[in-house]
Amino acid sequence: MIIEGLGNVSFVNGLLRIQTVAVGSDGKINESGSIEIPGNKVGDVITSLTAAAQGISEKIGEPVEPSSKKEEKKSSSSKKKKN
């Protein structure tokens, strides 16, 4: 199943249902499937997906630095230039 976006999302009877969509060969958005997650596991699943995506991102490109570290580097390098 390919997921290029999300359609309708509902939470009924303790089950999170997420409609997944993809662009078809005709250029129109079609349902590609659905993801169903028990309510008590939603947080764990989201946390796991986030960690996995960050890990993959780091492997295929430069790791993203938190903005505070970037600001520290800029301010320390500008201080060095002034001295």
pLDDT tens digit string along 8-29? Answer: 999 999 999 999 999 999 999 9
Question: Facing residues of 70 across strands?
Answer: none
pLDDT score, position 57: 87
Q: How far is CA 24 from CA 20, 63, 77, 81, in A?
A: 13, 33, 50, 55
pLDDT tens digit string along 16-75? Answer: 999 999 999 999 999 999 999 999 999 999 999 999 999 998 888 865 566 655 555 555
16 contacts: CB under 8 Å, gap ≥ 6: 9, 10, 35, 36, 37, 38, 39, 42
Q: Under CATH, to which class is 1-59 assigned?
A: alpha beta
Q: For the chain, which residues make up each domain, given as ranges? A: 1-59
pTM above threshold 0.75? no
Q: What are phi and psi of 66, to 5 degrees?
A: -60, 145
